[in-house]
């Protein structure tokens, strides 16, 4: 017996009984209460979609590919569960998890209770699922080009209204084959290039928009204070957005009010690689720099937030493509992809954020301590 869900991105998504039984578990239903794009709705009001519908979309694409490539249900269930361990507000807690030795792909922390019993009853190997999700086993779920990226780009584009995320999913899927990993046939190279262009454009416009970054870092710092007050970090695999905000309300009512009412910090420093020594900046510890700047400016440290984004690892550059019967890397056969690889670093921004009334004081302190050229403020976003 099958049921159907009407999805705004993919249309009708067909669900088999065993898939419905997984979706109906409390562990999976939690994803309804975790926003896909964290605080992006503060910039794009329509960005209120959740990890729940993204997981359904990834599963839908995995079913299409699994049928085409003659793969089994193990890949399909892995796609369905790939975001099960996302913490509140999605990537907004990733820094906290990493600081405590966890990754959001570690779904073993969330496969428990009713869901664990059900998966065992259905005959699925839980370790195999975890390995597929984490990328230990090359697959269409976690690889150089996978169903996760395919879904979130078009879905995030749809809900934000930013058209950069549109690319030809159907063509790409049609030209994918699996041979110890995903290989894109020659006729799908343009579609693969289009996916890369979409990611390149969506990062500065959506994922790393400065308002999203500021809200994310404010939430991260507030949650760190909650953990310092005694919250077990593993609880981040169990609670949802509302519960996280309630915890912040109890422990840090000031930051709760600021986030709830969009009274966000402002940019005291916001510069690209042209203004800093990128290698040296990447070595800095955000909290240590915050302490030094705040002390020099005579402020409480909580009012200074340093944001050193990681350098994005774009796995799609390394995807294998078949050209003239030979297997090559996409970046080696596409001038466009090589240009994108060279340009990716230009999206990176180093930020220092504070309350509006402290902006000039914090900027002067940062320039004095870090020796950066804060006069060249980025206007990209």
| Residue 360 CB neighbours (<10 A) | 11
Cα-to-chain-centroid distance, residue 71: 27
- Would you give the DSSP letter of residue 347? G
User: And the tokens for 37?
Assistant: 């794009």
Which tokens sit at 38?
């964290």
Q: What span, in angstroms and rounded, lies between the C-alpha atoms of 36 and 83?
A: 10
Q: Do 20 and 1 form a contact (C-beta atoms < 8 A)?
A: no
Alpha helices in the chain (DSSP H): 17-23, 26-29, 51-69, 73-81, 94-99, 113-121, 126-134, 147-160, 169-174, 189-202, 210-228, 241-251, 253-260, 278-283, 286-297, 330-333, 335-343, 359-370
Give one word for 318, left, alpha or beta, with left for phi > 0 and alpha for psi -120 to 50: alpha
For residue 206 the two structure tokens come to 């959506």
Would you please indicate which residues are annotated as catalytic (active-site) residues?
104
Contact 77, 124 (CB under 8 A): yes
Selection from 51, 21, 24 nearest residue 120 by Cα: 21
DSSP 35: B
């Amino acid at each position: 017996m099958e049921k159907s869900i009407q999805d705004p991105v993919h249309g009708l998504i067909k669900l088999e009984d065993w898939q419905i039984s997984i979706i109906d578990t409390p562990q999976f239903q939690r994803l309804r209460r975790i926003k896909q794009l964290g605080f992006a709705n503060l910039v794009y009001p329509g960005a209120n979609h959740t990890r729940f519908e993204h997981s359904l979309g990834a599963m839908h694409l995995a079913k299409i590919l699994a049928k085409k490539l003659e793969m089994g249900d193990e890949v399909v269930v892995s796609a369905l569960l790939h975001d099960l361990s996302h913490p509140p507000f999605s990537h907004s807690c990733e820094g906290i998890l990493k600081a405590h030795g966890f990754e959001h792909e570690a779904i073993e922390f969330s496969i428990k209770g009713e869901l664990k019993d059900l998966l065992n009853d259905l005959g699925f190997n839980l370790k195999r699922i975890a390995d597929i999700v984490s990328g230990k086993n090359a697959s269409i779920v976690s690889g150089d080009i996978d169903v996760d990226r395919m879904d979130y780009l078009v879905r995030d584009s749809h809900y934000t209204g930013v058209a950069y995320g549109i690319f030809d999913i159907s063509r790409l899927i049609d030209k994918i084959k699996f041979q110890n990993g995903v290989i894109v046939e020659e006729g799908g190279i343009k579609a693969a290039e289009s996916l890369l262009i979409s990611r390149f454009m969506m990062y500065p416009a959506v994922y790393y928009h400065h308002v999203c970054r500021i809200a994310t870092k404010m939430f991260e710092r507030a949650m760190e204070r909650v953990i310092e007050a005694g919250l077990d970090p593993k609880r981040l695999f169990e609670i949802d957005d509302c519960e996280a905000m309630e915890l912040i309300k109890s422990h840090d009512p000031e930051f709760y009010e600021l986030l709830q009412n969009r009274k966000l910090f402002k940019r005291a420093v916001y510069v690209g690689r042209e203004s800093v020594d990128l290698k040296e900046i990447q070595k800095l510890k955000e909290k240590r720099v915050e302490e030094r700047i705040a002390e020099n400016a005579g402020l409480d440290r909580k009012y200074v937030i340093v944001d050193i984004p990681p350098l994005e690892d774009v796995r799609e550059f390394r995807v294998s493509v078949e050209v003239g019967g030979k297997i090559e890397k996409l970046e080696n056969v596409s001038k466009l992809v090589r240009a994108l690889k060279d340009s990716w670093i230009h999206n990176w921004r180093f930020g220092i954020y504070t309350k509006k009334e402290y902006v000039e004081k914090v900027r002067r302190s940062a320039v004095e301590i870090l020796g950066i050229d804060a006069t060249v403020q980025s206007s990209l976003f």
